[in-house]
Structure 1
Amino acid sequence: MTLGDAKVGTTVVVTKIEGDSAYKRRIMDMGITKGSELFIRKVAPLGDPVEITVRGYELTVRKADAQCVEVK
């Protein structure tokens, strides 16, 4: 399952980040790393963007970026 598929109100754990090295670095710089817990706060009406809570702060990610983060 990807971050983009997760339901609002659930807490998920990152298992893998896909993409090239520059893309992975950008995602990890936002605090989304393997093993981190993400709480899905909101999803915009059209599904883009997704608002999450990671490491105590709120973060908004585009749907395309969320599809590259595998969670369980």
Structure 2
Amino acid sequence: MTEKRQTAIPLSELAPGGRAKVLELSAEGLVRRRLLDLGVVPQTIVEVILRSPIGDPTAYRIRGTTIGLRREDARRIMVEPL
């Protein structure tokens, strides 16, 4: 049985209700530090909870906690949809 592997996408492209596994962070400096502090590390499962009516920010569930991220920051998180 061959395992199908989807290509990586930015977290900002994941639709509400979608789940994905974090592959890598391309953020730098304070933004990278903040994301790491929030638990956004490789292999972590992230779920899109709710997108604001104007599209920014979006609420994500990470390690049992709900956090809000701006689209600009979510674009720097590459994930593999589950």
Give TM-score, length-normalised by structure 1.
0.92
Q: SS state of the match for residue 34, structure 2? A: helix
Aligned residue type for 2:22:
V
Residues 1:20 and 2:9 aligned together: no
Note the residue ranges of structure 2 that are not aligned, 5 or more in a row: 1-8
Q: How many residues align?
A: 72
From 61, 68, 72, give the equivalent of 2:69. 61
Residue 11 of structure 1 aligns with which residue? 19
**In structure 1, how many angstroms separate the alpha carbons of the residues matched to 2:60 and 2:40?**
10
**In structure 1, how many angstroms separate the alpha carbons of the residues matched to 2:27 and 2:44?**
18
Structure 1 position 32, deviation (Å): 0.7
**Structure number, greater radius of gyration:** 2
Give TM-score, length-normalised by structure 2.
0.81
Aligned residue type for 1:43:
R
RMSD: 1.0
Kindly report structure 1 stretches of 4+ aligned residues shifted beyond 6 Å. none
Structure 1 position 21, deviation (Å): 4.2
Residue 45 of structure 2 aligns with which residue? 37
Indicate if the aligned counterparts of 2:27 and 2:73 stay in contact, CA closer than 8 A: no
**In structure 2, how many angstroms separate the alpha carbons of the residues matched to 1:58 and 1:68?**
18
